[in-house]
Structure 1
Amino acid sequence: MSHLINFVRIPALAVRQHLLPLRPLHLLEEDCLRLRVWPNDIDLNLHLNNARYLSWMDYGRTHLLARTRLLEHLVRERWTPLVGAVWMTYRRSLPFMARFTLTSRLVCWDEKWFYLEQTFEGGEGLAAVGWIKAVLRNPKGNLDPQKVLERIEPGIVSPPIPEAIAIWNELTREKLESRE
Protein backbone atom coordinates (compact mmCIF):
# COMPACT_ATOMS: atom_id res chain seq x y z
CA MET A 1 0.00 0.00 0.00
CA SER A 2 2.98 2.34 -0.25
CA HIS A 3 1.44 3.48 -3.54
CA LEU A 4 -1.06 5.42 -1.42
CA ILE A 5 1.81 7.60 -0.18
CA ASN A 6 3.65 7.76 -3.52
CA PHE A 7 0.70 8.32 -5.84
CA VAL A 8 -1.81 10.09 -3.62
CA ARG A 9 -0.26 11.79 -0.58
CA ILE A 10 2.91 13.16 -2.20
CA PRO A 11 1.14 14.60 -5.30
CA ALA A 12 -1.62 15.97 -3.06
CA LEU A 13 1.05 17.66 -0.93
CA ALA A 14 2.60 19.24 -4.05
CA VAL A 15 -0.80 20.55 -5.18
CA ARG A 16 -1.64 21.79 -1.67
CA GLN A 17 1.72 23.53 -1.48
CA HIS A 18 0.94 25.34 -4.75
CA LEU A 19 -2.55 26.43 -3.63
CA LEU A 20 -2.14 26.95 0.10
CA PRO A 21 1.54 26.79 1.13
CA LEU A 22 2.58 25.30 4.45
CA ARG A 23 4.23 27.56 7.00
CA PRO A 24 7.85 27.87 5.83
CA LEU A 25 10.80 26.52 7.80
CA HIS A 26 14.43 27.59 7.91
CA LEU A 27 16.58 25.07 6.00
CA LEU A 28 18.03 23.62 9.21
CA GLU A 29 14.80 23.46 11.23
CA GLU A 30 12.99 20.22 12.06
CA ASP A 31 9.70 19.32 10.44
CA CYS A 32 7.32 17.22 12.55
CA LEU A 33 4.41 15.17 11.27
CA ARG A 34 1.89 13.54 13.59
CA LEU A 35 0.78 10.23 12.13
CA ARG A 36 -0.89 6.93 13.02
CA VAL A 37 -0.21 3.26 12.23
CA TRP A 38 -3.11 2.18 9.98
CA PRO A 39 -4.14 -1.33 8.88
CA ASN A 40 -2.23 -0.99 5.58
CA ASP A 41 0.95 -0.17 7.56
CA ILE A 42 1.20 -3.34 9.66
CA ASP A 43 2.85 -6.72 9.18
CA LEU A 44 2.06 -10.13 10.68
CA ASN A 45 3.34 -8.93 14.06
CA LEU A 46 0.68 -6.20 14.02
CA HIS A 47 3.18 -3.37 14.13
CA LEU A 48 4.54 -0.86 11.61
CA ASN A 49 6.24 -2.85 8.87
CA ASN A 50 9.92 -2.01 8.28
CA ALA A 51 9.22 -1.13 4.63
CA ARG A 52 6.50 1.30 5.71
CA TYR A 53 9.05 3.21 7.79
CA LEU A 54 10.86 3.94 4.52
CA SER A 55 7.63 4.95 2.77
CA TRP A 56 6.74 7.33 5.60
CA MET A 57 10.27 8.71 5.42
CA ASP A 58 9.75 9.49 1.70
CA TYR A 59 6.65 11.44 2.62
CA GLY A 60 8.44 13.16 5.51
CA ARG A 61 11.28 14.28 3.24
CA THR A 62 8.80 15.63 0.68
CA HIS A 63 7.00 17.50 3.46
CA LEU A 64 10.35 18.93 4.61
CA LEU A 65 11.10 20.00 1.01
CA ALA A 66 7.75 21.79 0.88
CA ARG A 67 8.25 23.55 4.22
CA THR A 68 11.79 24.70 3.34
CA ARG A 69 10.60 25.97 -0.08
CA LEU A 70 12.85 23.54 -1.99
CA LEU A 71 9.88 21.63 -3.45
CA GLU A 72 8.89 24.55 -5.69
CA HIS A 73 12.42 24.55 -7.17
CA LEU A 74 12.32 20.78 -7.70
CA VAL A 75 9.04 21.00 -9.57
CA ARG A 76 9.90 24.12 -11.58
CA GLU A 77 13.44 22.99 -12.51
CA ARG A 78 12.44 19.32 -12.94
CA TRP A 79 15.10 18.16 -10.51
CA THR A 80 15.03 14.54 -9.42
CA PRO A 81 15.70 13.74 -5.76
CA LEU A 82 17.49 10.39 -5.36
CA VAL A 83 18.35 8.48 -2.21
CA GLY A 84 21.90 7.14 -2.26
CA ALA A 85 21.85 5.32 1.06
CA VAL A 86 19.69 4.74 4.13
CA TRP A 87 20.89 3.60 7.53
CA MET A 88 18.02 2.49 9.79
CA THR A 89 18.00 1.56 13.44
CA TYR A 90 14.82 0.18 15.00
CA ARG A 91 14.49 0.48 18.76
CA ARG A 92 10.90 -0.43 19.59
CA SER A 93 7.69 -1.31 17.79
CA LEU A 94 4.91 1.02 16.77
CA PRO A 95 1.78 -1.13 17.22
CA PHE A 96 -1.44 -1.04 15.21
CA MET A 97 -3.31 2.28 15.64
CA ALA A 98 -0.45 3.86 17.61
CA ARG A 99 0.12 7.57 17.15
CA PHE A 100 3.66 8.60 16.32
CA THR A 101 5.65 11.65 15.29
CA LEU A 102 7.99 11.61 12.31
CA THR A 103 10.63 14.32 12.59
CA SER A 104 12.78 15.17 9.57
CA ARG A 105 15.74 17.50 9.39
CA LEU A 106 18.64 18.39 7.13
CA VAL A 107 21.79 17.66 9.15
CA CYS A 108 24.49 18.88 6.74
CA TRP A 109 25.77 18.63 3.17
CA ASP A 110 28.99 18.27 1.24
CA GLU A 111 29.97 18.80 -2.41
CA LYS A 112 27.56 16.06 -3.58
CA TRP A 113 25.22 14.82 -0.84
CA PHE A 114 22.51 16.11 1.44
CA TYR A 115 22.45 14.26 4.79
CA LEU A 116 19.14 14.00 6.62
CA GLU A 117 17.97 12.49 9.88
CA GLN A 118 14.46 11.18 10.42
CA THR A 119 13.15 9.91 13.75
CA PHE A 120 9.98 8.07 14.73
CA GLU A 121 8.71 8.77 18.25
CA GLY A 122 5.82 6.80 19.73
CA GLY A 123 4.13 6.89 23.12
CA GLU A 124 7.02 4.99 24.69
CA GLY A 125 9.76 7.15 23.16
CA LEU A 126 12.13 6.68 20.24
CA ALA A 127 10.95 3.87 17.94
CA ALA A 128 13.40 4.25 15.05
CA VAL A 129 15.93 6.58 13.53
CA GLY A 130 17.10 6.75 9.93
CA TRP A 131 19.91 8.64 8.26
CA ILE A 132 19.58 9.39 4.57
CA LYS A 133 22.15 10.42 2.01
CA ALA A 134 20.41 12.05 -0.96
CA VAL A 135 21.32 13.89 -4.14
CA LEU A 136 19.45 16.18 -6.51
CA ARG A 137 19.89 15.63 -10.24
CA ASN A 138 18.94 17.37 -13.44
CA PRO A 139 19.51 16.06 -17.00
CA LYS A 140 23.13 17.30 -16.86
CA GLY A 141 23.98 15.44 -13.64
CA ASN A 142 24.16 15.96 -9.90
CA LEU A 143 23.52 19.41 -8.49
CA ASP A 144 25.85 21.06 -5.99
CA PRO A 145 23.94 21.15 -2.66
CA GLN A 146 25.53 24.47 -1.67
CA LYS A 147 24.29 26.18 -4.86
CA VAL A 148 20.83 24.64 -4.46
CA LEU A 149 20.47 25.80 -0.86
CA GLU A 150 21.78 29.29 -1.60
CA ARG A 151 18.73 29.78 -3.85
CA ILE A 152 16.66 29.62 -0.67
CA GLU A 153 19.06 31.18 1.82
CA PRO A 154 22.04 33.04 0.35
CA GLY A 155 25.22 32.59 2.36
CA ILE A 156 24.06 29.48 4.24
CA VAL A 157 26.91 27.25 5.39
CA SER A 158 26.70 23.56 6.17
CA PRO A 159 27.06 22.56 9.78
CA PRO A 160 30.10 20.32 10.32
CA ILE A 161 29.62 16.73 9.15
CA PRO A 162 29.09 14.63 12.30
CA GLU A 163 31.66 11.92 12.95
CA ALA A 164 29.00 9.20 12.62
CA ILE A 165 28.17 10.34 9.06
CA ALA A 166 31.87 10.52 8.14
CA ILE A 167 32.33 6.93 9.40
CA TRP A 168 29.20 5.80 7.51
CA ASN A 169 30.58 7.37 4.31
CA GLU A 170 33.92 5.65 4.78
CA LEU A 171 32.32 2.25 5.42
CA THR A 172 30.15 2.67 2.32
CA ARG A 173 33.11 3.78 0.21
CA GLU A 174 35.21 0.79 1.35
CA LYS A 175 32.42 -1.67 0.54
CA LEU A 176 31.72 -0.17 -2.89
CA GLU A 177 35.40 -0.02 -3.82
CA SER A 178 35.92 -3.66 -2.80
CA ARG A 179 33.22 -4.68 -5.31
CA GLU A 180 34.66 -2.86 -8.33
Structure 2
Amino acid sequence: MTRALHLALATLRPRRPVPGQHVLDPSVTRLRVRPGDLDLYRHVNNGVYLQMMDVARSNFLADLGATQLLAARGWYPVVAASTMTYRRSLTLGQRFEITTRVLGWDPRVVFLEQVFTRGGEHVARGWVAGRFLSRDGGRVPAPDVVAVLEHAPATSPELPAEVAAWAAAVDVAHR
Protein backbone atom coordinates (compact mmCIF):
# COMPACT_ATOMS: atom_id res chain seq x y z
CA MET A 1 0.00 0.00 0.00
CA THR A 2 1.35 3.41 -0.88
CA ARG A 3 1.65 6.11 1.77
CA ALA A 4 -1.07 8.08 -0.05
CA LEU A 5 -3.48 5.18 0.49
CA HIS A 6 -2.23 4.86 4.06
CA LEU A 7 -3.08 8.53 4.62
CA ALA A 8 -6.53 8.10 3.05
CA LEU A 9 -7.29 5.23 5.42
CA ALA A 10 -5.95 7.12 8.45
CA THR A 11 -8.14 10.09 7.53
CA LEU A 12 -11.33 8.37 6.35
CA ARG A 13 -11.26 5.52 8.88
CA PRO A 14 -9.45 7.10 11.84
CA ARG A 15 -8.27 5.12 14.81
CA ARG A 16 -10.24 5.40 18.05
CA PRO A 17 -9.79 8.48 20.24
CA VAL A 18 -7.56 8.11 23.28
CA PRO A 19 -9.65 8.84 26.40
CA GLY A 20 -8.42 11.96 28.17
CA GLN A 21 -5.99 12.89 25.38
CA HIS A 22 -5.02 16.55 25.68
CA VAL A 23 -4.05 18.75 22.71
CA LEU A 24 -0.57 19.16 24.26
CA ASP A 25 -0.09 15.41 24.86
CA PRO A 26 2.14 13.56 22.39
CA SER A 27 0.66 11.08 19.94
CA VAL A 28 2.70 8.09 18.76
CA THR A 29 2.34 6.44 15.35
CA ARG A 30 4.21 3.18 14.80
CA LEU A 31 5.20 2.30 11.23
CA ARG A 32 7.48 0.01 9.25
CA VAL A 33 9.54 0.88 6.18
CA ARG A 34 8.01 -0.62 3.03
CA PRO A 35 9.63 -1.19 -0.37
CA GLY A 36 7.72 1.76 -1.90
CA ASP A 37 9.25 4.09 0.73
CA LEU A 38 12.78 3.59 -0.57
CA ASP A 39 14.82 5.57 -3.06
CA LEU A 40 17.60 4.24 -5.29
CA TYR A 41 20.03 4.38 -2.35
CA ARG A 42 17.80 1.89 -0.46
CA HIS A 43 16.82 4.22 2.34
CA VAL A 44 13.58 6.14 2.93
CA ASN A 45 13.15 8.90 0.37
CA ASN A 46 13.06 12.38 1.90
CA GLY A 47 9.63 13.08 0.40
CA VAL A 48 8.22 9.92 1.96
CA TYR A 49 9.10 11.27 5.42
CA LEU A 50 6.63 14.08 4.74
CA GLN A 51 3.94 11.59 3.71
CA MET A 52 4.56 9.59 6.88
CA MET A 53 4.21 12.80 8.88
CA ASP A 54 0.82 13.36 7.20
CA VAL A 55 -0.31 9.94 8.46
CA ALA A 56 0.97 10.71 11.97
CA ARG A 57 -0.86 14.07 12.03
CA SER A 58 -4.10 12.33 11.00
CA ASN A 59 -3.54 9.87 13.84
CA PHE A 60 -2.88 12.78 16.21
CA LEU A 61 -6.24 14.32 15.31
CA ALA A 62 -7.92 10.92 15.71
CA ASP A 63 -6.35 10.44 19.15
CA LEU A 64 -7.90 13.76 20.20
CA GLY A 65 -11.30 12.75 18.83
CA ALA A 66 -11.02 15.76 16.53
CA THR A 67 -11.60 14.06 13.18
CA GLN A 68 -15.40 14.16 13.40
CA LEU A 69 -15.48 17.51 15.23
CA LEU A 70 -13.55 19.16 12.41
CA ALA A 71 -15.48 17.39 9.65
CA ALA A 72 -18.81 18.46 11.17
CA ARG A 73 -17.68 22.09 10.88
CA GLY A 74 -16.28 21.61 7.37
CA TRP A 75 -12.72 22.34 8.58
CA TYR A 76 -9.65 20.54 7.34
CA PRO A 77 -5.90 20.87 7.97
CA VAL A 78 -3.26 21.93 5.45
CA VAL A 79 0.47 22.45 5.79
CA ALA A 80 1.53 26.09 5.57
CA ALA A 81 5.26 25.33 6.01
CA SER A 82 7.52 22.51 7.12
CA THR A 83 11.20 21.82 7.67
CA MET A 84 13.12 18.60 8.28
CA THR A 85 16.43 17.57 9.79
CA TYR A 86 17.80 14.06 9.32
CA ARG A 87 20.27 12.21 11.52
CA ARG A 88 20.05 8.56 10.53
CA SER A 89 18.62 6.54 7.66
CA LEU A 90 15.64 4.24 7.78
CA THR A 91 15.93 1.11 5.62
CA LEU A 92 13.65 -1.68 4.42
CA GLY A 93 11.70 -3.47 7.11
CA GLN A 94 12.77 -1.29 10.01
CA ARG A 95 10.14 -0.40 12.60
CA PHE A 96 10.05 3.16 13.86
CA GLU A 97 7.83 5.64 15.64
CA ILE A 98 6.73 9.18 14.89
CA THR A 99 5.88 11.22 17.97
CA THR A 100 3.68 14.20 17.13
CA ARG A 101 3.11 17.03 19.56
CA VAL A 102 1.73 20.55 19.45
CA LEU A 103 4.30 23.17 20.41
CA GLY A 104 1.84 26.06 20.37
CA TRP A 105 -0.28 28.24 18.12
CA ASP A 106 -0.83 31.81 17.09
CA PRO A 107 -3.90 33.44 15.50
CA ARG A 108 -3.07 31.81 12.12
CA VAL A 109 -1.34 28.46 12.56
CA VAL A 110 -0.66 25.54 14.89
CA PHE A 111 3.01 24.57 15.28
CA LEU A 112 3.86 20.90 15.60
CA GLU A 113 7.00 18.88 16.11
CA GLN A 114 7.22 15.38 14.67
CA VAL A 115 10.14 13.22 15.79
CA PHE A 116 11.13 9.93 14.13
CA THR A 117 12.83 7.40 16.42
CA ARG A 118 14.01 3.84 15.90
CA GLY A 119 14.86 1.78 18.95
CA GLY A 120 15.09 4.93 21.06
CA GLU A 121 17.52 6.58 18.62
CA HIS A 122 16.68 9.93 17.04
CA VAL A 123 16.30 9.52 13.26
CA ALA A 124 14.71 12.75 12.01
CA ARG A 125 12.69 15.74 13.18
CA GLY A 126 10.19 17.91 11.40
CA TRP A 127 8.48 21.15 12.33
CA VAL A 128 5.14 21.86 10.74
CA ALA A 129 3.07 25.02 10.66
CA GLY A 130 -0.47 23.80 10.05
CA ARG A 131 -3.37 25.94 9.04
CA PHE A 132 -7.05 25.02 8.96
CA LEU A 133 -9.35 25.88 6.09
CA SER A 134 -13.10 25.75 5.78
CA ARG A 135 -14.96 24.01 2.97
CA ASP A 136 -16.58 27.39 2.22
CA GLY A 137 -13.14 28.72 1.26
CA GLY A 138 -12.23 30.66 4.39
CA ARG A 139 -9.36 30.32 6.82
CA VAL A 140 -10.13 29.14 10.33
CA PRO A 141 -8.15 30.84 13.13
CA ALA A 142 -5.98 28.33 15.01
CA PRO A 143 -7.43 29.33 18.42
CA ASP A 144 -10.92 28.48 17.12
CA VAL A 145 -9.73 24.99 16.17
CA VAL A 146 -8.05 24.45 19.54
CA ALA A 147 -11.17 25.72 21.34
CA VAL A 148 -13.38 22.94 19.93
CA LEU A 149 -11.08 20.26 21.33
CA GLU A 150 -11.78 18.72 24.70
CA HIS A 151 -9.09 19.28 27.35
CA ALA A 152 -7.67 22.24 25.40
CA PRO A 153 -5.93 25.11 27.18
CA ALA A 154 -7.25 28.63 26.67
CA THR A 155 -3.87 30.01 25.66
CA SER A 156 -0.91 28.68 23.72
CA PRO A 157 2.29 27.70 25.44
CA GLU A 158 5.23 29.89 24.46
CA LEU A 159 6.91 28.58 21.33
CA PRO A 160 10.52 27.44 21.65
CA ALA A 161 12.79 30.26 20.43
CA GLU A 162 14.13 28.26 17.48
CA VAL A 163 10.61 27.44 16.27
CA ALA A 164 9.52 31.07 16.61
CA ALA A 165 12.59 32.15 14.63
CA TRP A 166 11.85 29.56 11.92
CA ALA A 167 8.19 30.67 11.73
CA ALA A 168 9.28 34.29 11.26
CA ALA A 169 11.90 33.30 8.67
CA VAL A 170 9.41 31.38 6.51
CA ASP A 171 6.75 34.05 7.06
CA VAL A 172 4.05 31.90 8.68
CA ALA A 173 4.10 33.62 12.07
CA HIS A 174 1.27 35.96 12.93
CA ARG A 175 2.18 39.59 12.17
Pick the TM interval, shorter chain: 0.7 to 0.9
1:34 lines up with 2:6 in the alignment: no
Identity %, equivalent residues: 34
Alignment RMSD: 2.0
Cα distance per residue 1:150-173 (max 9 Å; x no partner): 112365321112111211122223
Higher Cα radius of gyration = 1
Contact 2:28 2:100 in 1 (8 A): yes
What SS does structure 2 have at the residue aligned with 1:152?
Answer: coil
Q: Secondary structure at the match of 2:18?
A: coil
Relative to 1, partners in 2 of residues 1:132 and 1:15: Cα closer, same or farther, differing over 3 Å? Answer: closer
Q: Report the Cα distance in structure 2 between the residues aligned to 1:167 and 1:50, rounded to whole angstroms.
A: 24
| Runs of 4+ in structure 1 over 6 Å off | none
Q: Structure 2 matches for 1:1-180, cutoff 5 A? A: 4-6=2-4, 8-17=5-14, 21-24=16-19, 25-123=21-119, 125-138=121-134, 139-153=136-150, 155-173=153-171
Higher relative contact order (CA 8 A, sep 6+): 2
- 5+ residue gaps, structure 1: 175-180
How far apart are the structure 2 equivalents of 1:53 and 1:11?
A: 16
Q: Distance in 1 between matches of 2:137 and 2:89?
A: 42
**Structure 2: segments with no counterpart, 5+ residues:** none
In the TM superposition, residue 12 of structure 1 has moved relative to its aligned partner by 2.6
The number of equivalent residue pairs is 169
What TM-score do the two structures reach when normalised by structure 1? 0.85
